[in-house]
Structure 1
Amino acid sequence: LYPFKAALADGTFWSTGIGALLALIGILLTAVMMTKKVPGGILVGILVTWGLGMICELTGIYVPNPKLGMFSVMPSFANGISVPSLAPTFMQMDFSAIFTFNFITIMLSFMFVDLFDTLGTLIGVASKAKMLDKDGKLPKIEGALLADSIATTGGALLGTSTVTTFVESSAGVAVGGRTGLTAVTAAVLFFLSLFFAPIFLAIPAFATAPALVIVGFLMVSSLLNVDFDDMTEAIPAFIAAVAMPFMYSISEGISMGVISYVAINLLSGEYKNKKTSWIVYVLAVIFILKYIYV
């Protein structure tokens, strides 16, 4: 308890710990609303937590400190409302190194990261929406992958961060979203948010953190489908689930899961009793080579 008392005494807690405390409050509020099946409970949780942050800033409990990554939670319209120009980043590609080895390794790295991030998210969200078939496959996944690849390419041409499938989509699934209308509605709202950037940019990380925690909880339920009596299935699934948050990447978690799955089955001889596709073994080799050379 001494570090905690010292932090309270010198004010460090109130300058750095209040964000974590507000995030915890937001998680509890969001969980209660989800339990009560309040429509838009996750969004309400974000807004309420943000509101509490505003109150804390106005009362001096929350003190913005950019050096500590703590910014003001009050919207600022000092620069007015306008959509930033794309000119500085639009079509700013450099193909001078396209025939070099470094370019190939970078291209393959991005390809694997984007591909397996997308596959992991699609399967996870589809599982939550109960859209997988009896074999655990997503019917007509080609269309979803094509849409994702077009969006990724378009985003790159515009100079934005990678446009891809995000696991936050499960928040929409949790409140009943099952069709393309959900995605279209989200797209329209994202477009409108361009004109209200000062408002949305002021929403702090501790206000959105509860939503991400709840989304993580929703995704964890998929682990119930793992056969924990089969160690060759359960251990790789566990390794993949643990690796994703610690390595901060869905694709890295999938890589660890595939490598461990192949290694355990080969070394234990269980591969003889399984009808595992040869593609899995090829992927395991590719993932290992990626870690060695990239």
Structure 2
Amino acid sequence: MSSKMQASESSFFEKAFKLKEHKTNVKTEVIAGITTFMTMAYILVINPLILSETGMDINALFTATALSAAIATLVMAFLANYPFALAPGMGLNAFFAYYVVINLGYSWQFALTAILIEGVIFLLLTMFNVREAIINCIPMNIKHAVSVGIGLFIALIGFKNAGIVVGDGATLVTLGSITDPAVLVALVGIIIVGVLLAKKVKGALLIGMMLTTVIGIPFGVTPLPEKLLSAPPSLSPIFMQFEFSNILSLDMVVVVFTFLFVDLFDTLGTLVGVATKADMLDKDGKLPKAKQALFADAIGTTVGACLGTSTVTTYVESASGVAEGGRTGLTAFTTGSLFLIALLFSPIFLIVPSAATAPVLILVGLFMLSPIAKINLEDYTEAIPAFLTIVLMPFTFSIAEGIVFGIMSYTFLKLITGKGKAVSPIMYVLTIIFGIALVVM
């Protein structure tokens, strides 16, 4: 590449992302973007595997996952100029597949309709600056507990998918057969990823998954691909597949609210957490251009539903790119571009077995436990609701139940102990809605 072309590209990136103003350069931003992609590329494998449990076409899901991640991340790059990447969220995809479809018995088209409604609501809430107001109405301890509970829920799914734990009539779950090849491969994978994380290897999750996949070949757990490159699988089996017949049902209201609630806190928490690490918050502790960043999330979710995937949210793995020096949308632009390139390598991504993705699910669960240190365990009107939120998610195999009982117990405990003024009016409304939903359901 000639020096003139390099200067032209640098000029474009400078104008688009204001690199000098943020004290960074093209090389640093590109490396940061690659790092972010490496730490979250596991979603290209795990999201199709989880959502395919509903009967959705796994090949089409790969395309939908890559495209929705690319579109949302590129919107973040150019609209907000932040180094944050987005993709279908972990936990939210599990709620989609295992609760809405498998537990409640609704079709995956019903679940996609709920995602579409969520995305449209998010667009409206963001447009009128309501999302920031809503976040302030929910107690911090409940917010922290939701993250922890989802972490345990995700870890349980990982253990279950690998066969490390299996269903048991007497004890609900019990240890699976350790001699089973898939279990052995998964356990080895946990050790491999754990070592890589301990040594702070960039892309530890992705590298560990790749190594575990290779180890699975002689065990007969990993099939060999017929080819390395392929045109992106067609979206037609899942594109624009909505079901509006149950749009006014109470179940739809509860499902949409749960998607809204979890995604709301997941996105805002990630934005604030990563922005703090990157020193992006202003003197009042607020994130400039938060509205634009939230629009990227809302657009991603709406477009993702049309493409055929679950809620799109901001990824905490964006912190890995920030740690590499990423400070602008060029980091996100690089990550989004890599998701587009990944579309050509679907045969490789789709051979990865559950035994190789299980270690990632389990350890992503670990990553989500850190907010537990921020929960106030001394005040029982705070600790009990947080505890119920955390434990009921994995114990009921339902994110929604944890949230419902956490909010309701918080409201009742505060009210009965004479601390009712600490509860916002919206919390009282939610408690009434949840109470009615529990009786009806």
Q: Same fold (TM over 0.5)?
A: yes
| Alpha-carbon distance change, 54 to 157 in structure 1, aligned in 2, over 3 angstroms | same
**Match in the other structure for 1:292:** 439
Larger RCO (CA within 8 A; separation ≥ 6): 2
Q: Which amino acid aligns with 1:164?
A: V
Which of 239, 248, 257 is matched with 1:112 structurally? Answer: 257
Counterpart of 2:387 (choices 211, 225, 238) is 238
Distance 1:130 1:38 in 2: 22
Q: Assess, with a 3 A threshold, how the Cα gap between structure 1 residues 94 and 126 changes in structure 2: closer, same or farther.
A: closer
Structure 2 residue ranges without an equivalent (≥5): 1-175
Contact kept, 8 Å, 1:22 with 1:49, in 2: the verdict is yes
SS of 1:165's equivalent in the other structure is strand
Identical residues among aligned pairs (%): 40
Give the C-alpha shift of residue 140 in structure 1.
Answer: 5.8
1:161 matched to 2:309? The reply is: yes
State the Cα deviation string for residues 95-114 of structure 1 (Å, max 9, x = none).
5x4xxxx4212542342132
Q: Which amino acid letter does the alignment assign opposite residue 436 of structure 2? A: L
Give the distance between the partners of 2:418 and 2:427, measured in 1 at CA.
Answer: 16
Residues 128 and 215 from structure 1, CA distance in 2 versus in 1: closer, same or farther, beyond 3 angstroms? farther
Number of residues paired by the alignment? 258
Q: AA paired with 2:316?
A: S
- Cα distance in 2 for partners of 1:139, 1:287 equals 34
Deviates more, 1:23-32 or 1:219-228: 23-32
Cα-Cα RMSD: 3.3
CA distance in 2 between partners of 1:38 and 1:218 (Å):
16
Between the aligned partners of 2:215 and 2:270, the Cα distance in structure 1 is 31
Please list the CA deviations of residues 66-89 of structure 1 after superposition, one character each: whole Å capped at 9, or x if unmatched.
xxxxxx4322339x7122333444
Provide the residue aligned with 1:73 in structure 2: 223
Change in 2 beyond 3 A, CA 1:86/1:211: closer
Contact kept, 8 Å, 2:274 with 2:318, in 1: the verdict is: no
Structure 1: distance between partners of 2:243 and 2:358: 36
Inter-partner Cα distance in structure 1 for 2:412 and 2:268: 23
Could you list the per-position Cα deviations for residues 17-40 of structure 1 after superposition, in whole angstroms to 9, with x for gaps in the alignment? 322222222222222221221122
How far did 1:46 drift?
1.0
Matched-pair contact (CA < 8 Å) for 1:116–1:250:
no
Which residue type is aligned with residue 162 of structure 1?
Answer: S
> Shift of the alpha carbon at 1:42?
1.7
Deviations 1:185-216 (A, max 9, x none): 44323222222111101111221222222222
Matched, 1:49 2:193: no
1:222, CA displacement in angstroms? Answer: 0.7
Q: 2:247 aligns with which of 90, 103, 109?
A: 103
- Per the normalisation by structure 2, the TM-score is 0.51
TM norm structure 1? 0.73
1:13–1:211 Cα change, 3 Å: closer
CA distance in structure 2 between the aligned counterparts of 1:153 and 1:196, rounded to whole angstroms: 25
Alignment equivalent of 2:316, drawn from 151, 170, 174: 170
Q: Closer, same or farther in 2 for the Cα pair 1:126/1:155, shift >3 Å?
A: closer
Question: 1:187-198 counterparts in 2 under 5 A?
Answer: 187-198=336-347
Structure 2 CA distance for partners of 1:292 and 1:150, relative to 1, 3 Å: farther
Q: How does 1:84-99 map onto structure 2 within 5 Å?
A: 84-93=233-242, 97=245
Aligned residue type for 1:257:
G
Counterpart AA for 2:427: V
